[in-house]
A = this chain, B = another copy of it.
Amino acid sequence: MIAVDWGTSSLRLYRLDESGLVRERRRSDCGAMASTGRFGDVLAQETAGWNDTRILMCGMVGGRGGWREVPYLDCPAGNAELAQGMQRIEAAGFEGRELWIVPGLCDTVSDTVPDVMRGEEAQLAALLDVLPGGAHLVCLPGTHSKWVTVHDGLIRRIATAMTGEVYAILRQHSILGQSMPSAEVRFDAYAFDAGLKRSAQPDGLLHHLFGVRTSRLFRLFDEAALPSYLSGILIGHEIRASGLFSQSPRPVQVHLIGNERLLSSYAHALTALGIGVQRHPEELAARGLHALWARRVEAGTAA
């Protein structure tokens, strides 16, 4: 089968064998936004030479403005609900094959404003398949970082923080970016830790951000260290507001899912705050989609 993680700005494709092992992988910039109106053509092109019958997809491909909107499922939900909620679509050029889209999840109860995910549920499905019962906390860092509470195999709470996007627009469009190198720079652990510490002070993120500017005016850091300082402030605020420290008992570890580079920063921050981490790669999505299909087979709803 083919597993497709089709996000807003990127497309990841995996070819799996029967047991769910990834045998080939591809990646493209044709995210859902760039594929509007021509999803079928893009998929045909990107899977050229892969003749597997079954194609399972997750991500913004199933969102509003995607290929086909698949409504969010309500939390709490686990792999049984996700597998059951998959929708099959027909598309020209894919006659004789099976295209499925996995629904996103929404959490309308644990906060006064609803929260959602679309795509991350496939990565979580792989984790749900192997985690023991009880409570687990999962963080999926990114443009929009997801903090997810899992209990006895069910996803119960979703909380999203706009950390990655705020970091990017501050660097590109705010006064803070003016004193930073425009290219990506090496992670500076000293500056990152200073930002992390700063985030513990009570005077708020909006004030801490201005301090990135004054810290440069007063030459507390080199220009090359400022991105790491900013990153430490933002990730520190995200982690401290995640509820991690107010839970009782406090979770001893957080599961981190994502690309290696981003995970290093989060792992560094959590470790500095005395929390253990367990890392999982992005391509967990492929394993998750395979696990969801296996559920449908078990339940006799595979066709």
Contact = CB atoms under 8 A, between A and B. Distances in A.
A241 B206 contact: yes
A142 to B, nearest CB: 12
Contacts of A209: 162, 166
A207 B214 CA distance: 26
Contact of A203 (B145, B207, B208, B243): B243
B210 A241 contact: no
Nearest to A172: B173
A212 to B, nearest CB: 9
A246 to B, nearest CB: 7
Interface stretch (A79-87, A89-97, A232-240): A232-240
B172 A214 contact: no
A198 B241 CA distance: 14
A238 B206 CA distance: 7
Interface string A188-222: 00000000001001111111111100110110100
A175 B203 CA distance: 27
A116 interface: yes
Interface in A167-196: 169-170, 172-175
Contact of A204 (B165, B215, B218, B241): B241
Interface footprint category on A = 35 or more
A298 interface: no
Number of chain copies forming the complex:
2
A289 B174 CA distance: 30
A206 B203 contact: no
A213 to B, nearest CB: 8
A159 interface: yes
Contact of A205 (B114, B172, B206): B206
A18 interface: no
Interface of A: 64, 108, 111-116, 144-145, 159-163, 165-166, 169-170, 172-175, 198, 201-211, 214-215, 217-218, 220, 234, 237-238, 240-243, 246
14 contacts: A108-B218, A113-B198, A114-B217, A114-B218, A145-B206, A160-B214, A162-B206, A162-B210, A165-B174, A166-B174, A204-B238, A206-B241, A207-B238, A207-B241
